[in-house]
Amino acid sequence: MIAASAGVLPLDGGLVEPALSAPLSTHADVADRAFVKRGSGEIQPVLALADISLSFGGVAALRDIDLEVAQGEIRAVIGPNGAGKSSLLNVISGLYRPDRGRVRLGEHSFAHVPTARLAQHGVVRTFQNLAVFKGLSVRDNVLMGLAHRVRAGFLRQIAGTPLARRIDTENRAAAEDVIGFLHLREVRDRAAGTLPYGLLKRVELARALVARPSLLLLDEPFAGVSLGEKRELAAHVRNARDLYGATIVLIEHDIGVVMGLSDRVAVLDYGRKIADGTPDQVRSDQAVVDAYLGVAHADETELAL
Amino acid sequence: MDTIASTSHRTGPVAESILVGVAAVIAFGVIPLAGSDYLMDAVLTPFLALALAAVGLNVLTGYAGQVSLGSAAFFAVGAYAAYNLHLRVPELPLLLDLVLAGFVAAAIGIVFGLPSLRLRGFYPAVSTLAAQFFVQWALTKFGWFSNDNPSGVIDAPALSFAGYSFTSAAGRYLFSLAVVTVATILTLRLLQSQTGRNFIAVRDHEIAAKVIGVPLLQTKLLAFGVSSFLIGVAGVLWAFAYLRTVEPAGFNLDRSFQILFIIIIGGLASLRGAFLGAAFIVVFPLMLSRLGAALLGGVFDSGVLEMSQRIVIGALIIAFLITEPRGLIALWDRFRAAIGRRTGRPRQDISYN
């Protein structure tokens, strides 16, 4: 497939430098939303979890989780299998209702996040086992990310009223933009169901980014992709923050990629948060080493970008 | 939806519009002048009604992913609603009766679509099956629907519109053709809009669609409504333009399956597939009876014909589901792609429908 061959991003038009650590300040003009308030003292977190607990038939999946995600950061939640990472993401996106605790998204606080209105709150998520719409073309998949913006009713859409056409034109322009950004131009007319897994990960990311979310939740974005694709995806995730201004929460068990990519890392184990801090702090935390890393694996640290 | 879009993408908009233009001239001009009454009366008019019903079912099943076994119920609702509208409000023009009958069918369809909001997979189909039996029972039980005919039979009024009457075979064919053309174009526009994408999104990954902000309730009920509307209008054509005398028993479960088979054989989530499948379902029995009579002579009576027809269609459905779930339309696209390669015109690979 296109672009998949390169470890370093083939970038159009020199919009961003291929280096993975693009300095934030140079993109301040593009990333309008996220960094405006950055560094200006007390700012409201984009996402705040307070005292979240969740259990399934007596088995505690999450216990008293507190988590704050600041504007414009890449926040990783890591942990071994069954630590409660996916449950946490499902609580944030409203697919699960926590037994206790509250989720605050920007200025709104919820006991149970309304999934159907998530997109309106500027929150989008991806899924661990790919949730692309296989029967739609890549472009239509991306356009689906803007479904909540289509305010014209179906009769107006059939009739092609000025409102419906204007929304359609705007959405198509936004979709083209993100399709170019993620190097999907050559496959945009292909049915998603005919594309390989690694490419579909990018399609899903494009669908998430097209709405320019304030908060992007990524569920194991690096699961099941090759090392080269991992580097590439990591760069895309970073660019999503730098250029699209999204605050990012990603859950992952591939600790190597995460450490290089994230600003702060929270570690879950058996439903509890056992550590929270910068990658360096977490890496040297004894509880994390005991619970998660076990005996330090040389090969895992090698993966760090 | 993307069928047409991607086809024109492959062949170029000019070639495609020439093709459509030629087809329109033949359908609207040549056939009514040169075609025999038998062709229009017994082949093309039922083909058009069934094709429109299949377009309607395809919206629901092929695009929105909700299986329905109650198409004949909405077919019947359309026919009986138009009959009663004409009978009880004679001031209304027939074309308005047709549209209103579609809305009545849409309302019934939405009611029986409500369980699909709670049920997943196969189970909503049971609700549509309930529609099938309920409607047939109600039309037989309550004489009001058939103006107190003891067996529920209705005689359709003569087709007329704006002072013109469409009672001849050619007239009824042209009336059906015009209605089906307009309805199909509007459906195509709907499927190419965001609403059409929402249908497929709900079909392919309901949770993801919900998280993105697709209103599930609205989208599913709209699919039921639009689908039933189209099937209802097709039912009016079936009763008024084709048979002209219909009874509730004619809208039984067999008819529902017939429409379902059309979209399976023709190709799910493809409007062209609906037409191709309908053509096959209409032409196939005629071919089979000719062939059977030629080969076996007198032994091949109507009973044998019906049995052999069921066997062959059943076998075909199994064969399609196993070897080409995308139906006849996929075969047709592949055939055209092969021709394109031979004539040296480069084409993209076949799209998904």
Residue finishing a domain among A212, A234, A257: A212
Q: Which one is predicted more confidently, A60 or A43?
A: A60
Whether B110 shows a pLDDT value over 60: the answer reads yes
Whether A288 shows a pLDDT value over 90: the answer reads no
Residue A292: the pLDDT is 64
Q: Which residues of B touch A144 (CB under 8 A)?
A: 197-198, 201, 209, 212, 214
The DSSP secondary-structure symbol of B58 reads I
State how far the Cα of B58 lies from the Cα of B67, in Å rounded to an integer.
Answer: 9
Q: What is the pLDDT of residues B222-276, one digit of tens each?
A: 999 999 999 999 999 999 999 999 999 999 999 999 999 999 999 999 999 999 9
CB contact under 8 A, B195 and A124: no
H-state helical runs in chain A: 85-92, 138-144, 154-159, 162-181, 197-209, 227-244, 255-261, 279-283, 286-288, 298-302
In-domain check, residue A43: no
Residues A232 and A206 in one domain: no
Closest residue to A118, CB basis, from B190, B213, B352: B213
Nearest to A258 by CA among A290, A292, A291, A287: A292
Strands (E), A57-99: 59-69, 74-78
State how far the Cα of B85 lies from the Cα of B92, in Å rounded to an integer.
Answer: 8
Instruction: State the residue range of the domain holding A117.
Output: 70-98+113-122+213-299
Q: Which residues of B touch A134 (CB under 8 A)?
A: 204, 352
- Say which amino acid occupies A95: L
Q: What is the pLDDT of residues B170-225, one digit of tens each?
A: 999 999 999 999 999 999 999 999 999 999 999 999 999 999 999 999 999 999 99
Residue finishing a domain among A212, A236, A260: A212
Which token pair is A5? 């061959």
- What are the backbone angles phi and psi of residue A61, rounded to the nearest 5°? -90, -35
Q: What is the pLDDT of residues A176-226, one digit of tens each?
A: 999 999 999 999 999 999 999 989 999 999 999 999 999 999 999 888 888
State how far the Cα of A247 lies from the Cα of A242, in Å rounded to an integer.
Answer: 9
SS3 A164: helix
In-domain check, residue A127: no
Residues A238 and A91 in one domain: yes
Report yes or no: B227 at the A interface, CB cutoff 8 Å.
no
In-domain check, residue A195: yes
- What are the backbone angles phi and psi of residue A117, rounded to the nearest 5°? -105, 10
In-domain check, residue A275: yes
Q: Which residues of B touch A160 (CB under 8 A)?
A: 189
In-domain check, residue A165: yes
- Say which amino acid occupies B243: L
How close is the nearest chain B Cα to the Cα of A42, in Å? 31
Residue B159: the pLDDT is 85
Residues A218 and A202 in one domain: no
CB contact under 8 A, A189 and B6: yes
Give the global pTM: 0.86
Residues A217 and A292 in one domain: yes
In-domain check, residue A52: no
The DSSP secondary-structure symbol of A100 reads E
Those residues with Cβ within 8 angstroms of residue B70's Cβ, 6 or more apart along the chain or in another chain = B112, B128, B129, B130, B131, B132, B135, B256
Report yes or no: A304 at the B interface, CB cutoff 8 Å.
no
Residues A263 and A219 in one domain: yes
Q: What is the pLDDT of residues B5-26, one digit of tens each?
A: 444 344 566 777 888 889 899 9
Q: Which residues of B touch A115 (CB under 8 A)?
A: 210-211
Average model confidence (pLDDT) across chain B:
89
Question: Given pLDDT bands bounded at 50, 70 and 90, which one contains residue A80?
Answer: confident
State how far the Cα of B110 lies from the Cα of B55, in Å rounded to an integer.
Answer: 17
Nearest to A270 by CA among A88, A104, A30: A88
Residues A200 and A219 in one domain: no
Whether B305 shows a pLDDT value over 50: the answer reads yes
Question: Given pLDDT bands bounded at 50, 70 and 90, which one contains residue B124?
Answer: confident
Q: Which residues of A touch B269 (CB under 8 A)?
A: 135
- The number of distinct structural domains making up chain A is 2
How close is the nearest chain A Cα to the Cα of B201, in Å? 6
Residues A170 and A156 in one domain: yes
Please report, for chain B, the start and end positions of each structural domain, with discontinuous segments joined by +.
2-342
One CATH from 3.40.1360, 1.10.3470, 1.10.1660, 3.40.630 for B2-342 = 1.10.3470
The DSSP secondary-structure symbol of A275 reads E
We report the CATH number of the domain holding residue A285 as: 3.40.50.300
Q: Which one is predicted more confidently, A54 or B2?
A: A54
State how far the Cα of A34 lies from the Cα of B293, in Å rounded to an integer.
Answer: 77
The interface predicted TM-score (ipTM) is 0.85
State how far the Cα of B312 lies from the Cα of B321, in Å rounded to an integer.
Answer: 14
Residue finishing a domain among A191, A212, A233: A212
